Amino acid sequence: KSHVLHGVHFEVRTGEIVALLGRNGSGRSTTVKTIMGLVDGTGSIAWREQPILGRKAFEIAQAGIGYVPENRDIFSNLTVHQNLMLGCKGGKPAGRWSFDDMYKLFPRLAERQHTEAGVLSGGEQQMLTLARTLMGDPELIMIDEPTEGLAPKIVELVAEYLRGLKRRAISVLLVEQKLTIALEVADRCLVMGH
């Protein structure tokens, strides 16, 4: 019930990667959860010049905003391929991304497509969550702490995937604590204060 965010104002332009930086507890994750409709907020949030504050999360997703949560919410009893199917609008790929695209972008997922997602490594689960979100064909994807708990080699792989999204003209709002990754991939960095 307490208000965490005050005076937050920014925009993300088409095809731009914007990193949202700040210390733990500064409101970075709360900001993206509020945009996604997972946390109640006051003020205004606009997407394509239309207000979205107060809309349900699934309506915001259908409008073209994707969200990759920090905790990698995978469906552990489903296979990798089944998890990807859940990301599709209407159960089948539409728009820019196909299953083949995901398996080319994330070759490790192709090797494990019939494996239950619960046995994947942390890096593989992060790839799966990102791939599942992309299957919904978002124009803006908000990614919360994608490198948290990952080995340095996998962190560099995630950075490369983020650069690949930019080449596909997908806007990215990146919540990241690792300054080196944020500075490496972002067009702009915004720092949340108190």
Q: How many residues does the chain have?
A: 194
pLDDT at 167 over 80: no
Dihedral angle over CA of 63, 90, 121, 33, nearest 10: 20
| pTM over 0.85, yes/no | yes
Residue 101 pLDDT: 87
Higher-confidence residue of 60 and 160: namely: 60
Residue 94 pLDDT: 66
| Closest among 101, 100, 81 to 91, alpha carbons compared | 81
CA distance 15 to 149: 27
Phi and psi at 50, nearest 5°, equal: -115, 140
Alpha helices, DSSP H only, in 11-98?
28-35, 57-62, 80-87
Alpha helices, DSSP H only, in 15-121?
28-35, 57-62, 80-87, 99-105, 107-111
Residue 73 pLDDT: 84
What is the pLDDT confidence band of residue 1, given thresholds at 50, 70 and 90?
Answer: low
Residue 92 pLDDT: 65
